[in-house]
């Protein structure tokens, strides 16, 4: 990776908007840093705890004292599960609203407000009949302990048009520092980002977005654009944008220990990548569709003067072909072997890797889980995973 001298924020923004005719955002590349990892790479195994979740694509926890996990069924349901019990319970059924055609469409993500125990609301992402990615808020009328949520509680917060293709929807949701909501969006689908949406700050596609959901600001009744977002001061650009240049950031996570953002971006023909940024980095250009991984994909999409942020991990095809971004382990059960290590996988090959959470650590193969679609943590930080075949798995490490 070429190291460039850092420029002042003012000069960076001047350079970014001097390239406005090409729709390019040029902002600085930096290295992220984290705590040292365990010295010996672990071997992971996965125990099937429960099945029959339809087509699960995400697992997370409800941040209260219930111990409940929540599984996202692509076909349109949120299903809760308490470890040790026999099965799950439908928490929210949106099958009449969600369009789950095209393989990559459907109910895609959920994020519970960090203060859910006293202020119970959450957000979901899904595709609707016109292909648009919808981000909606649900307030739990019965309080945090409620076992079900009515579909009528939906409040649509944000709609990202996605009219032409069924694939590359993104749809991951996660809360970061300051309870800001981060959202991933795909490049609009098709092959090679046909109209270059990922490389323009004027659209919300092919991006990481960041919203303040504590307030509403006209014309957005359910969110505000944080004033420290990199494009917030420029009305000709979408202020919701945090990072640009992504193809299909299907799964990302935010490390609660330091706010580092880990993005698994699904590749096109040759490479899969993991991008790692610190909590203070913003406005980065991840390179797609100028670059795939660290290599040029489409030279006509590259522009002089633009700094492309290099991924921390690149895996060539066919070793990986549909990267599944994961999370940094912060449980206690396997701390001696997991240290702070990042776990990620691949849907096509089933490979699962871990790597030190500190920047520069190399990934090592740690096991396999066929058709893995997500990694998540329970309230204690122990890791679970979903498989598209319908299973919910618990991780063990040695």
In this structure, is residue 3 part of a structural domain?
no
Residues with Cβ within 8 Å of 233's Cβ and at least 6 positions away in sequence, in order, are 227, 239
DSSP per position, 227-247: TTSTTTT-TTS-TTEEEB--S
pLDDT of 26 reads 37
In this structure, is residue 261 part of a structural domain?
yes
CA 362 to chain centre: 21
Is the confidence at residue 22, as pLDDT, over 60? no
In this structure, is residue 2 part of a structural domain?
no
Average pLDDT, the chain: 91
In this structure, is residue 288 part of a structural domain?
yes
Is the confidence at residue 12, as pLDDT, over 60? no
Is the confidence at residue 1, as pLDDT, over 50? no
14-18, 261-265, 287-291: least confident range: 14-18
In this structure, is residue 1 part of a structural domain?
no
Q: What is the pTM of this model?
A: 0.91
Provide the phi-psi class of 305: left if phi over 0, else alpha when psi is between -120 and 50, else beta. left
Q: How many domains does the chain have?
A: 1
| Mean of pLDDT values over 110-123 | 98
In this structure, is residue 4 part of a structural domain?
no
- Give the domain extent around 86: 9-397
Q: Which residue has the higher pLDDT, 40 or 209?
A: 209
In this structure, is residue 90 part of a structural domain?
yes
In this structure, is residue 310 part of a structural domain?
yes
Is the confidence at residue 11, as pLDDT, over 60? no
337-356 residue pLDDT tens: 998 999 999 999 999 999 99
User: Which CATH number do you get for residue 198?
Assistant: 2.120.10.30
């Amino acid at each position: 990776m070429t190291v460039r001298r850092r420029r002042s924020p003012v000069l960076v923004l001047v350079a970014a908007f001097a390239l406005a005719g090409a729709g390019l955002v040029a902002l600085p590349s930096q290295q992220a840093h984290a705590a040292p990892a365990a010295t010996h790479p672990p071997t992971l195994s996965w125990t099937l705890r429960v099945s029959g979740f339809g087509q699960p694509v995400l697992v997370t926890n409800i941040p209260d004292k219930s111990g409940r996990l929540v599984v996202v069924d692509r076909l349109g349901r949120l299903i809760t599960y308490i470890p040790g019990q026999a099965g799950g319970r439908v928490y929210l059924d949106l099958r009449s609203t969600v369009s789950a055609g095209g393989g990559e469409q459907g109910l895609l993500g959920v994020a519970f407000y960090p203060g859910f125990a006293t202020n119970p609301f959450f957000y979901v992402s899904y595709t609707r009949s016109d292909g648009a990615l919808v981000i909606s808020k649900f307030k739990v009328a019965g309080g945090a302990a409620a076992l079900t949520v009515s579909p009528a509680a939906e409040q649509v917060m944000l709609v990202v048009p996605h009219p032409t293709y069924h694939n590359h929807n993104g749809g991951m949701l996660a809360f970061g520092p300051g309870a800001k909501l981060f959202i991933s969006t795909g490049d609009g689908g098709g092959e090679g980002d046909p109209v270059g949406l990922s490389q323009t700050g004027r659209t919300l596609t092919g991006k990481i977005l960041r919203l303040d959901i504590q307030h509403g600001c006209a014309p957005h009744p359910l969110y505000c654009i944080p004033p420290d977002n990199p494009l917030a001061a420029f009305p000709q650009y979408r202020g919701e944008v945090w990072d640009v240049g992504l193809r299909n950031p299907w799964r990302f996570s935010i490390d609660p220990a330091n706010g580092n953002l880990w993005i698994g971006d699904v590749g096109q023909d040759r490479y899969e990548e993991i991008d790692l940024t610190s909590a203070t980095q913003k406005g980065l250009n991840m390179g797609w569709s100028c670059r795939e991984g660290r290599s040029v994909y489409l030279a006509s999409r590259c522009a002089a003067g633009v700094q492309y942020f290099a991924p921390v991990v690149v895996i060539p095809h066919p070793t990986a072909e549909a990267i599944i971004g994961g999370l940094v382990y912060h449980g206690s059960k396997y701390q001696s072997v997991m240290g702070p290590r990042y776990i990620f996988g691949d849907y096509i090959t089933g490979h699962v890797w871990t790597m030190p959470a500190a920047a520069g650590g190399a990934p090592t193969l740690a096991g396999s889980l066929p058709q893995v679609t997500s990694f998540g943590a329970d309230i204690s930080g122990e890791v679970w995973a979903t498989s598209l075949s319908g299973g919910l798995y618990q991780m063990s490490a040695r």
